[in-house]
Structure 1
Amino acid sequence: MTAHDELRLLPWAGPDGKPCYLSTDDQGGYVSRLADHIEAFQLGMASQLLEHSHQVLDDETEDPEELNLLAAQLTSALRDVLRVATSRGRTLVVPGRP
């Protein structure tokens, strides 16, 4: 098992929206691979949404409902990307940190 400070933040929330963590030494295990695939999907969707947002914002004829939907989707994508960044940031090698 990994040490408590080496838990992996998973790209999904648990009951009541609480974060889920994985404690394992097997980086190639089923849950680790599933989390990797979900993170890749989330990052890909965020990239596509960013591209779509440029189109929506460049089109001055968009209605307020479309802009509200875009804002909600961007908020969701940002939450996912921040979770991935937080999870991956824990695994980065930082100079001077053991």
Structure 2
Amino acid sequence: MSPHELRLLPWTTPDGKPCYLSADSDRSLLSRLADDVEAAQLDSGEQVLAGARAVLADTKAGERAVRFALTRASESLEDALRIAVSRGERIGAGENRP
């Protein structure tokens, strides 16, 4: 990553705005932290998906359980989409390298 390229980070500001990183290396401390957070978010998303499937399979699940599962699933999807955008931008930036 060149110093002029920004990496979309896997977290937002307290008011929900995106955070970006400009670093000289993909191996900088903050880049590695972002990689670790992305991995944790994806792992959490797998757990949320399993829980949501269980709630949906339970014909006796109430509205509160379904709403909770959908809320968590929405949060996980938002994380996964942010990660996909960030990784896609970095892959695209790599195509322009000599």
TM-score range, shorter chain: 0.7 to 0.9
RMSD value, Cα: 1.6
| Residue aligning to 1:53 | 52
- TM-fit CA distance, 1:93: 4.4
- TM-score by length of structure 1 reads 0.88
Query: Structure 1 residues 15 and 50 mapped into 2: Cα distance closer, same or farther (>3 Å)?
Result: closer
| Residue aligning to 2:9 | 10
- The answer to whether the aligner puts 1:34 opposite 2:33 as a matched pair is yes
Q: 2:70, 2:14 → 1: CA distance?
A: 25
Structure 2, unmatched stretches of 5+, are: none
- TM-score by length of structure 2 reads 0.88
Q: 2:8, 2:48 → 1: CA distance?
A: 23
What SS is found at the alignment partner of 1:91? helix
Query: Alignment identity in percent?
Result: 41
What SS is found at the alignment partner of 1:34? helix
What SS is found at the alignment partner of 1:81? helix
Give the ranges of 4+ consecutive aligned residues of structure 1 lying more than 6 Å apart after TM superposition: none
| Residue aligning to 2:72 | 73
Aligned length: 94
Structure 1, unmatched stretches of 5+, are: none
- The answer to whether the aligner puts 1:87 opposite 2:86 as a matched pair is yes
